[in-house]
Amino acid sequence: MKRTLVAALLLGAAILIAQQSTPPAAQSGGRGASGRSGGQGRGPAQVVIIPRPGVPVADADQRALHTGLTRLNSRIDALKGNPHLADVQIFEKAVRYALDGNEFFTQEEVFRAKELLRMGTDRADELAKGDAPWTRATGLVVRGYVSKIDGSVQPYGLVVPPTFAPEKPHHWRVDTWFHGRTETLSEVNFLWDRIQNPGQFQPRDTIVVHLYGRFCNGSVFAGEVDAFEALDDVKKNYYVDENRILVRGFSMGGASAWHIGAHYGTQFAAVAPGAGYAETMEFTGQTRRGVQLMWFEDKLQHLTNATDYAGDFFNVPVIAYNGDQDAQKQAADIMEKNMAEEGLTLSRVIGKNIGHAYTPEAIVQLNEMLDAIASKGRDQWPKMVRFTTWTLRYNRMRWVVVDGLEKHWERARVDAAIEGDHTISAKTSNVSAVSFDFGTGARALNPAMKVSVVLDGQTLTANGPLTDGSWTGHFRKNGGKWAVADDDSKALRKRHELQGPIDDAFFDSFLMVRPTGTPMNDTVGNWTKSEQEHAIKMWRTQMRGDAPVKDDTAVTDADIAASNLVLWGDPQSNKVLARIAAKLPVQWTSDAITLGSRRFSSATNAPVMIYPNPLNPKKYVVINSGMTMREYSESNNALQVAYLPDYAVVDLTTPPDARWPGKIAVAGFFDEAWQLQTNDGK
């Protein structure tokens, strides 16, 4: 453990490059999955650190930028509490991140930064006068919000139609647009582009939301949450028709559209991916090369592969686009295959004689098809729902909500239908709890009658809908038989947003807790310190936020109530970890780490894990891990997936590298009651 982290990463990168061959351009995606045309470029075996180092910035320019930041920050401090303050802070953060992170990639960007500081100062001056004219503007507008995850300010762009008039409320169609891979898409460059470029698609009487997605991660994890936080901010500031929200994107943005559409189709009227990728193994060429994943990696593919959720497009229209000469047609090809296996037909628009781009004819065709769908809107309460999932992270489709699985990472299904005016019939597999949730205003059921629910052939009766048309029925399987569910909110079990794996903690508010005590030994102490620094850096560069950090002695009851706690160190060095160590299923003493009958020496091993926090079981506690994807994944967006399950023991005699935090001695998933499984991995 004497090597520095940088040396270890370089060693790991060299090993990976030496051991794996680069797939051909047609399979690799490289940067193209999303940015370089046609999937050309480096293959996924090559470790590429993004964003790359920027160009030198002259001393005079640095002084001017620092002066501008100081001026803008003084105005921001005077405006605290203003509801539109984030619309100013996006400019300050953009320039500060570029300056502090060495992220000016061309000299032109220095000029852009100065202009952005001027724009931010102008906005601050307007707010000081009690006005915010950009909130009433049409055309290109940039705005921001404060993320619940890390308190960071995140930007998004808007194209507001010329027919918009705030004094005349109108419920607008909204198209969300996911951008392609651009390895230099700093906040400076994103804001500049969103001020200058309306994009290829500007449907009539539609607000187009251009999502930042926290840089270049294919809209997974915090990038995934960004889409919904930005959309929520739009809904707060504009009248939005909830049933006319569409998902669109191209290249990496096409992959984002596949991901968001497949996993969250319940919220959208239509999905229109252009090129991109829809899964990991075939797109990156690993299937062709015979690459064997560790068993838990293979299961974790079910978290992000859109192909595994292909059946959910029964519930939301999807229209895929690709050029006929584009290597990234592979995404639509494989989704077409998987949808066909579900009895579904994928609608496709194909550009003729073109690679990684739209043809003018295809743009017209796509617009006509999507306009027709948008005019009809989403059917929020359809008579029939077909839903498939592999995890309670993604647990809803229209009025069907899966509340429990018999076993995570195996396919679960619910096929449900409304029969007549008061009967719901559903067939399930791998489901232990389900709800049928009809919100206020739903008229799919007769409020005058009791609701009859036929679950897997078993008939249950519940009270009828309320007079406003709303009704929710909860059902749980006990001993193989269904029953109306009692409140078990205090039971320790896997449930939506409390089901793992480790990366799930970073979908919501988290706090990294730094140890202040003496570690059990130097090996563990040095490793946990290095891994914490690595996690903070990865969050900053890949998720574009400053990870919240507190000393263990400073953690409050309010912190425990509000956030997932990421505890670094060991039970001797971290006081919060010491408080809960005896209540965790993995025991860690100065002698050994014990997982059931398995024991590992504490001198050369350390556990990483996620678990409901014993101090607040509604939130997670994470031990010694940030996001589990590392530098290895930065070369290809399709590699930006979860790498570790619910728990692992790391052998520290092998130093961290670009893929792993050390040698994975053992790893696994807790069962549905958050207990160790004796046969995990078999």
pLDDT in tens, 20-71: 322 222 222 333 444 332 333 334 457 899 999 999 999 999 999 999 999 9
Average pLDDT over residues 214-223: 97
Average pLDDT over residues 329-339: 98
Q: Which band of pLDDT confidence, cut at 50, 70 and 90, is reported for residue 443?
A: confident
Average pLDDT over residues 582-600: 96
Question: Residue 635 has what DSSP assignment?
Answer: G
Q: Is the pLDDT of residue 1 over 80?
A: no
Average pLDDT over residues 117-125: 98
What local confidence, expressed as pLDDT, does residue 299 receive? 98
Q: Is the pLDDT of residue 12 over 60?
A: no
Distance CA 586, CA 189 (A): 45
Average pLDDT over residues 198-206: 97
Beta strands in 516-623 (DSSP E): 549-551, 564-567, 587-588, 592-595, 598-601, 605-613, 616-623
Cβ neighbours for 511, distance < 8 A, ≥ 6 positions apart: 548, 549, 550, 555, 559, 563, 564, 565, 566
Average pLDDT over residues 208-230: 97
Report the percent of the chain where pLDDT is more than 70: 93
What local confidence, expressed as pLDDT, does residue 442 receive? 67
Tokens coding 596: 């059931």
What local confidence, expressed as pLDDT, does residue 45 receive? 54
Residues 283, 288, 292, 293, Cα dihedral to 10°: 0
Q: Position 432: which residue type?
A: S
Whole-prediction pTM value? Answer: 0.93
What local confidence, expressed as pLDDT, does residue 4 receive? 36
Distance CA 523, CA 570 (A): 11
For the stretch 335-351, pLDDT in tens is: 999 999 999 999 999 99
What local confidence, expressed as pLDDT, does residue 678 receive? 72
Q: Is the pLDDT of residue 631 over 90?
A: yes
Q: Position 531: which residue type?
A: E
At which residue do the structure tokens 């046969």 appear?
Answer: 679
Q: Which band of pLDDT confidence, cut at 50, 70 and 90, is reported for residue 446?
A: confident
What local confidence, expressed as pLDDT, does residue 445 receive? 86
Cβ neighbours for 564, distance < 8 A, ≥ 6 positions apart: 505, 506, 508, 509, 510, 511, 613, 619, 620, 621, 622
What local confidence, expressed as pLDDT, does residue 490 receive? 81
CA distances from 35 to 89, 181, 242, 250, 641 (A): 28, 4, 31, 9, 19
Q: Is the pLDDT of residue 566 over 50?
A: yes
Average pLDDT over residues 362-374: 98
What local confidence, expressed as pLDDT, does residue 222 receive? 98
